[in-house]
Amino acid sequence: MTDLVQVRRGAYRDSVTLMRVSRRIAGRPDVADAMAAMGTPLNRAVFERMGFAVPPDAGPADLVVALRGDGPLDDARHALAELLDERAQAHDGGFGEAPPPRTVAAAAARGDASLALLSVPGPHVFPEAMDALAAGLNVMIFSDNVPLEQEIALKDAAAARGLIVLGPDCGTAVVGGAGLGFANAVRPGPVGIVAASGTGAQQVMCLLDAAGTGVGTVLGVGGRDLSPQVSGRSTLSALAALDADPATELIVVVAKPPAPPVAALIREAARRLDTPVVFALPLPGADDLTGATAAALRRLGRPVPRWPRRARPQPPGGALRGLFAGGTLCAEAELVAGAVPGGHGHRMTDFGDDAYTRGRAHPMIDPTLRLAALADAAADPGCGVVLLDVVLGYGADPDPAASLAPALAAARAARPDLALVVSLCGAAGDPQGLDRQGAALHEAGAAVFASNAEAARYAAALAAGRSGDEGEDG
Amino acid sequence: MADRLGGLLAREPRVIAVGADVLADALADQAVPVRTVDWRPPPPGTEDALNAVLGRAGHAEANATAVGRMLSARPHLVDVRPAWEVLSLEPGAFLHAGPPLTWERASGPMRGALIGAMLLEGLAHTPEDAEQALARGDAVFEPCHHHHTVGPMAGVVSPSMWMLVVRDEEHGGTACCSLNEGLGKVLRYGAYGPEVIERLRWMDAVLGPALRDAVRAHGPLDLLSLMAQALQMGDELHNRNRAATSLLLRELAPDLAGGPHAAEVLRFVGGNDHFFLNAAMAAAKACADAARDVPGASLVVAMARNGTDFGIQVSGTGDRWFTGPAGVPDGLYLGSYGPADANPDIGDSAITETAGAGGFALAAAPAIVRFVGGEVPDAVAATHRMYEITLAEHPALRIPLLSFRGTPAGIDVTRVVRTGVLPVIDTGIAGRVAGTGQVGAGLVEPPARVFTDALAALAADP
């Protein structure tokens, strides 16, 4: 073993630098022990314990370097000198940006947010939602599977703070001109929508847009808000907010039919408002979504147009198979088709149901399952009519026709007797391009309707063996 | 009422999005301001406890109260007195760092410090006698924290030792800490050789009385304002106290100068860059104690290690300790020492992090970040990370590099569990063999389970 001890008089390095240098040199294969330190009494004691002989005149202002190794230590000494004289390097990253926040609380602390949009798994929603409410933010919960008692607790906490919880399982909202979740780019206007059903709200807003009437606000309240347990907590709060909003001239409430006591509660609350309220609660015998939209237009004193369609005569006959992405659109089609006499029966499937979305994206984003079902229907000789919905807007598939149009064309090619009917829910301003989507689906062989109810009625009539008039060009 | 729902209907929303990227992207496509959260699920099995604690009425208010008390405390150095006098510590009784401990489970440095304290108090004549007496149970020892006291490293306090006495002028609490011995072979790192005992005797005979006279002559000394200045001079007030020590010495020098051993005392204090650490700890302890016992609050009011266990106490769960195995710090070592020589984490000094200094203020002390092989951006990142788990920003301790943003202060148990971000603690490293002393310095984290256990206790509390 060779020892090498050097003293650099008056050369100061801070202790951290010296400890780093020592560690790097000690890690060299040709070095057994190394230490570089200022010659303080404490460090001198450490040198001595390591067995190095430090010159007695080396003091606290002197840099002491000690090396021990088997062979010549020239390389190590050279490396040590380089490390000691290394200059600080500038770093490109500056002082470092703040990393992204890990909680809504931390995000809220950074700035003036007004709303938190939550889509984490349902069992994990509660802490983030409480963060938002505590920070004075409204909350939209896109996630489903939030326990019922948590939904109630969150809605009560929101009410106590003068805030609202949209959802859980709220797919759609439009506030302050921004579409949240799955929302269509409709023109701004006098109608406010309170929706316990996401695609139901989208249908109404798109039809209003087609009629030239804008929508100012859409507040989704979640599918359970009108349940007996939740008892319309968010619906009531949304109604009050829209009533107070000077830009809202008419309120449309869109929901699956609620339990009677809750329906009575909501209707009573609506009666007390200054703003007129139109209900779109699809029930047998009541207005469907298209009918409710027409009622809203009449209430505003505006004309009800003939709803846009791209007609294409379809072959009648055979059973009706409905393949839906939108739950409310599916339910509405079921009701409408059920009211059409005759036919070979119908079967409607909601591919947005939990049973189909576990471990997979919503069919408004991922078309895989519906495309497979379309191929199955075409291969089934008993199936004579296929009815599909296509929902456009923010958050949805950026080009649904890109996959669906070829699939429709293939089905038609394989089964010239198969009727193809599409309910296309979209607004002219949607990023997918309403015209382009409609044209592509029509080109592929489908009759395309803006009104879901009209599409369902036409499809059911085809299944009943009538060609109907709704397939004709208007 | 235009501001109904916080003006939700009237203005373009500014959105915080957490979860599916597609929803945030859709907002960005509409040019809506959106901030995304880097969310990750909490540890499995903690959901119910989180929901119970966060859903309890008044939880947010309890935390606001607790952290408000911590940050409104005004710790002043008011006196310096022997432990027997100020803590009524009897002969044969000792205090130690961290959660409660038995001799059987005590680590090398803790045993070494207790042996040294026995020798100092004349309760044993040789280390062997002291060790046997301690093993027999002849001495009682309790956590410093149970006596409004903190101690660095082993944190051993014996009756004859002089204590800094700090009073919270806002809430009236008192906290104590011993006097810092310097670096190298010192009792708090478990060394008990003759030079250690000799230094302690000098501190008892000369330093303590001199400081007492000076502090009394000076009058209450505002520690928080001194700490705020030091933070802006590159200290983080745990592993770096160079500026604070200088400021303290400057403040007390006129009152020390007239004493009988002035030069000796000034040289000792001035020659020990860590002298202020103990004052910072007592100040932090006074602040943290002000936040104790707020029902339902999930604010951490103590983090402490005894060399075997890491323990925390939480405002809403009283004096209960939540403990787990103390980790070995990641850092740099003196001379030829390495991780194998290191004792698990030890000391009450994590009270500085508890109160918003130390590792939480790393961005203010770029000079020390290279202890962990880091660069200045790493120090900034460490402080940024701590904002994720804290309830507030310190009103007095402000970081120049972050445009004078207050340090992250007030650790929330629920936020630690939710984010998986653990507090970052600056620390010295003691040798694992009794009598060795300091072997290095670096950073350490608490065991995650102390936070999940505390959360479960908060959730179970009716």
Read off the pLDDT of residues A300-338 as tens digits, 9 standing for 90 and up: 999 999 999 999 999 998 999 999 999 899 999 999 998
Looking at the fold, whether A77 and A186 belong to one and the same domain comes out as no
Q: What is the pLDDT of residue B462?
A: 64
Neighbours of A244 (CB within 10 A): 17
DSSP A36: E
- Within 8 A of B414 by CB-CB distance, chain A residues are 127
Looking at the fold, whether A319 and A290 belong to one and the same domain comes out as no
Q: In which domain, by residue range, is A433 found?
A: 309-463
Q: What is the pLDDT of residue B371?
A: 65
- The answer to whether residue A93 is domain-embedded is no
- The answer to whether residue A364 is domain-embedded is yes
Angle, CA B226 vertex, CA B224 and CA B228 arms, to 5°: 70
pLDDT per 10-residue tile (average), chain B, 462 residues? 76 92 90 93 93 93 97 97 97 97 96 97 96 95 97 97 98 98 90 95 98 98 95 94 97 95 96 96 98 98 98 97 95 87 96 97 86 77 94 93 92 97 93 86 93 97 72
Q: What is the pLDDT of residue B67?
A: 98
CB pairs under 8 A between A and B: 231
Q: Is the pLDDT of residue A474 over 60?
A: no
- The answer to whether residue A97 is domain-embedded is no
- Within 8 A of B381 by CB-CB distance, chain A residues are 96, 99
Looking at the fold, whether A264 and A313 belong to one and the same domain comes out as no
Q: How many domains does chain A have?
A: 3
Shortest Cα distance from A278 to chain B (angstroms)? Answer: 20
**Scanning every residue of chain A, which has its alpha carbon at the shortest distance from the alpha carbon of B18?**
A118
Q: What is the pLDDT of residue A83?
A: 83
Q: Chain A contact for B39, CB < 8 A?
A: yes
Cis peptide bond upstream of A246, omega within 30: no
- The answer to whether residue A242 is domain-embedded is yes
Q: Could you say which of B15, B414, B421 has the minimum Cβ distance to residue A113?
A: B15
CB contact (8 A) between residue A245 and residue B4: yes
Q: What is the pLDDT of residue B330?
A: 86
What is the CATH T-level fold of the domain B75-282, as seen in this structure? Enterococcus faecalis V583 fold (3.90.1710)
What is the CATH T-level fold of the domain B61-70+292-460, as seen in this structure? v583 fold (3.90.1700)
- Token code pair at residue A160: 């106590």
Confidence check on the interface: ipTM exceeds 0.95, yes or no? no
Looking at the fold, whether A400 and A344 belong to one and the same domain comes out as yes
Q: What is the pLDDT of residue B1?
A: 43
- E strand intervals along A78-183: 115-118, 138-141, 165-166, 172-175, 178-181
- The answer to whether residue A260 is domain-embedded is yes
Looking at the fold, whether A289 and A336 belong to one and the same domain comes out as no
Residue B434, class by beta-carbon neighbours within 10 Å (0-12 exposed, 13-18 middle, 19+ buried)? Answer: buried
- Within 8 A of B35 by CB-CB distance, chain A residues are 101, 107, 110-111, 113
Cβ contacts of A284-287, under 8 Å, gap ≥ 24: A284/A335, A284/A338, A284/A339
Looking at the fold, whether A313 and A445 belong to one and the same domain comes out as yes
Place of tokens 């409004």: B148
Looking at the fold, whether A328 and A451 belong to one and the same domain comes out as yes
Looking at the fold, whether A361 and A231 belong to one and the same domain comes out as no
Looking at the fold, whether A220 and A322 belong to one and the same domain comes out as no
Residue A446: alpha-carbon gap to chain centroid: 30
**Scanning every residue of chain A, which has its alpha carbon at the shortest distance from the alpha carbon of B335?**
A35
CATH number of the domain at A22, please: 3.30.70
Looking at the fold, whether A293 and A315 belong to one and the same domain comes out as no
Q: Could you say which of A153, A176, A180 has the minimum Cβ distance to residue B9?
A: A176
Domain limit, last residue, from A280, A299, A318: A299
Q: Where are the domains of chain B?
A: 1-39, 61-70+292-460, 75-282
3-state DSSP assignment of residue A214 = coil
Q: How far apart are CA B54 and CA A179, in angstroms?
A: 30
Shortest Cα distance from B30 to chain A (angstroms)? Answer: 7
> Which residue would you say has higher pLDDT here, B203 or A339?
B203
Q: What is the pLDDT of residue A15?
A: 74
Q: Note the pLDDT tens digit of each residue in A254-310.
A: 998 788 899 999 999 999 999 999 999 877 777 899 999 999 999 999 999 999 999
pLDDT-derived band at A92, boundaries 50, 70, 90: very low
Lowest mean pLDDT among A221-225, A339-343, B421-425: A339-343
- Within 8 A of B373 by CB-CB distance, chain A residues are 20
Looking at the fold, whether A212 and A238 belong to one and the same domain comes out as yes
- The answer to whether residue A252 is domain-embedded is yes
Q: What is the pLDDT of residue B211?
A: 98
Lowest mean pLDDT among A75-84, A405-414, B101-110, B284-293: A75-84
Looking at the fold, whether A261 and A391 belong to one and the same domain comes out as no
Domain limit, last residue, from A37, A56, A85: A85
Q: What is the pLDDT of residue A343?
A: 66
Q: Could you say which of A37, A142, A244 has the minimum Cβ distance to residue B4?
A: A244
Average of per-residue pLDDT values in chain A: 90
Domain limit, last residue, from A299, A325, A340: A299
Q: Is the pTM of this model over 0.90?
A: no
- The answer to whether residue A240 is domain-embedded is yes
3-state DSSP assignment of residue A363 = coil
CATH number of the domain at A397, please: 3.40.50.261
- The answer to whether residue A258 is domain-embedded is yes
